[in-house]
Structure 1
Amino acid sequence: MRVELLVVTDCPNERPTFERLRQALDDAGHEDTPIAVRIVTEDTVGSIPAFAGSPTVVIDGADPFAEQVSPGAGLSCRVYRSAAGMAGAPSLDDLSRAVAR
């Protein structure tokens, strides 16, 4: 399994997303799966089709939350739907479901 976390510099939601993603992977028995953190810049954003705002989780080349994406996210912050409303990071439950797919 290849897991990436795509972020812009100083993204305030990078850490909680990374920590929840790490927990979801560990809980699913993927303790040895690394999470590659990739910084997205103005120069690279056009070459990363999976990037839908910061942070974006990519598992095996696909964004498991792609149905929530608005076109033209660019280098903006990303929001995720959750049981509590909109959030800057996916929930642990949502990440656990994404890892299990």
Structure 2
Amino acid sequence: MRLEVLHVADCPHLSVLLDRLAQAADHPVTTRLIETTADAEHYGMSGSPTLLVDGTDPFGPDGQPSLSCRLYRDEAGRPTPVPSVDQVRAAVTEDAG
């Protein structure tokens, strides 16, 4: 399984997502700095940070390619800057299954 996190420079939520990935999965994670909207479109980033599991965004694209902060929805439907550990674990498990 290939886990990659796409992000913009100085993304304040990158470290939180990486920490949650470490808690949820025992797989190496790579990061990719995205600097242009063209790169965001090419790599599939719809906001920073975006998790890709084997090249696919398990949370679905969140609109147009974007260099802005991304919002996810927690289990209660509230906006949050990163998925919860349980949501990350479910996304990784679903892909592996």
What CA distance in whole angstroms lies between the structure 1 residues aligned with 2:83 and 2:50?
9
Query: Please, which runs of 5 or more residues in structure 1 have no aligned partner?
Result: 26-30
Q: Which residue matches 1:28?
A: none
Aligned length: 92
Q: Secondary structure at the match of 1:58?
A: strand
RMSD: 1.5
Q: Which residue matches 1:34?
A: 28
Query: Please, which runs of 5 or more residues in structure 2 have no aligned partner?
Result: none
Q: Which residue matches 2:42?
A: 47
Stretches of 4+ moved more than 3 A in 1? none
- Letter in structure 2 aligned against 1:95: V
Q: Which residue matches 2:81?
A: 88
- The TM-score, its normalising length taken from structure 2, stands at 0.87
- The TM-score, its normalising length taken from structure 1, stands at 0.83
- Structure 1 residue 64 corresponds to structure 2 residue 58: yes
| Percentage of matched positions with identical amino acids | 38
The Cα offsets for residues 72-91 of structure 1, whole Å up to 9 and x where unpaired, read as 24101100001351100111
Return the offset for 1:61: 1.0
The structure richer in strand per residue is 2
- Structure 1 residue 20 corresponds to structure 2 residue 13: no
